[in-house]
Amino acid sequence: MLQLRRIAFVTCIFLLLSGCWDSRDIDQISFIVGSAFDKAPDGISDNQKNRVKLTIQSISHTPSDTESSNSKQKYQNISGIGDSKLEIIRQFALKSEHPGIGSHLKVTIISEKLLRDMNLQQLLSFHERTYEVRDSCIMLISKGVAANALKISAEVPSFELVGISANRYKTANLIPPMTHGKLQSLMEANTSFIVQTIQTHQKEIKFSGGALIKGDTKKLVGLLNEKEVKGLNWITGNIKGGIVKAKDPKTKGLLLYDITSVKNEIIPHIIKDHISFNVNIETKGRLNEDWVLAGNAFSNKFINRAELAIKAEIEKEISQTLKKLQKEYHIDAAGFGEQLRIHYPNQWKQMEKNWDKQFGEVPIKYQVKITISDYMVKGKKETSK
């Protein structure tokens, strides 16, 4: 009797241990790693307008056969057209053997054209709601057709894009990657912000400039070029590395300043309903290359001259960006509003709604403090004869 009971017990345990309801074999799954949104051509009937074309890039498990994997492409792109994202995604179940799972989605690219007349929040509402897509997925905006960015020549284009966006320690022209999580928080708070844009040209990609997205409409209102993005990065202090190119006023030679650190502070002032800002920027770096023939970096005189030239260049970049933000687009994508919220929470409550409009009229002063701390290995072009 006891024996029988034991056998029954063990059988029950086997039943419980036998497997997982949700298990799927890894070679049956294709992982979606990138997705791109484009504007679909309008159809004939009325309900075929304002549709979206979604392209997804997926990689699937292939047996590690060295010969075949060399020649074969590692990823597949599929696209579909529809009103809602879920609808398109489910369409893929009709188009491919292994409909993908989205939990490894790394990058979402949206075309500029689409975002000019479509609300970003609505576009991404599926992303936000589903449990599959992680909030760490990053977003980019494409100047041309977004799907082209998934066709660039790289082993897996999506990974290439993610990799490039992490290069901020080498260049100051990149905007910090906009993750889905951050994006959602910004949109919930109706804050205007900027997203990195990319440009593809014949299977080649370049990250260039940024797209300004308005907080209340959540649509794209304008673009900044690379230089203006750099200016914006100076204001927000989001610089980890990069260079500033300036000209030596005396000899017209080029000076290249390699940024090692940037500290910045935006200080808001409200005096009798009059708002103004002070931006203090402090940067340290080194002289990495100079085309000044008589340049003697061992003398502080030359260093000071270089500092002044570079400082003027940085200020020029900042003023250009501010002009564009304040006068052309009337949009605060540099976090001035946030400082106001922190320092004057009560006043901010009343201004919050009209802030972007008001921002255009606000005087902003900026001060750049620059220190060239060293000049790498070589200090002098040639020894004086």
CA distance 175 to 164: 11
Q: How many residues bind another protein (CB under 8 A)?
A: 24
**Residue number with CB closer to another protein (14 or 131):** 131
Q: Stretches 188-196, 199-207, 291-299, 372-380: which one binds another protein (CB under 8 A)?
A: 188-196
Binding of residue 181 to another protein (CB under 8 A): yes
Binding of residue 342 to another protein (CB under 8 A): yes
List 1, 2, 20, 26, residue binding another protein (CB under 8 A): 20
Binding of residue 381 to another protein (CB under 8 A): no
**Cα-flanking dihedrals φ and ψ of residue 270, to 5°?**
-125, 115
List 81, 152, 186, 270, residue binding another protein (CB under 8 A): 186
**Residue number with CB closer to another protein (27 or 188):** 188
- 316: Cβ contacts below 8 Å, ≥ 6 apart: none
Binding of residue 189 to another protein (CB under 8 A): yes
Residue window 120-149: x/- pattern of binding to another protein, with contact defined by CB under 8 A: -----------x--xxx-------------
Check: CB of residue 278 under 8 Å from CB of residue 267. yes
Strand partners, 54: 37, 80
Q: Stretches 110-118, 184-192, 305-313, 361-369: which one binds another protein (CB under 8 A)?
A: 184-192
**Cα-flanking dihedrals φ and ψ of residue 22, to 5°?**
-95, 10
DSSP letter for 296, please. Answer: B
Q: Where are the alpha helices (DSSP H) in the chain?
A: 2-17, 66-71, 85-95, 112-116, 120-123, 125-129, 157-165, 180-188, 226-236, 300-323, 336-343, 345-351, 355-359
Binding of residue 214 to another protein (CB under 8 A): no
List 286, 343, 380, 381, residue binding another protein (CB under 8 A): 343
CA distance 179 to 196: 11
CA distance 163 to 106: 10
Binding of residue 53 to another protein (CB under 8 A): no
**Residue number with CB closer to another protein (182 or 240):** 182
Using CB under 8 A, list all residues that contact another protein.
16, 20-22, 131, 134-136, 179, 181-182, 184-186, 188-190, 335, 338, 341-343, 345-346
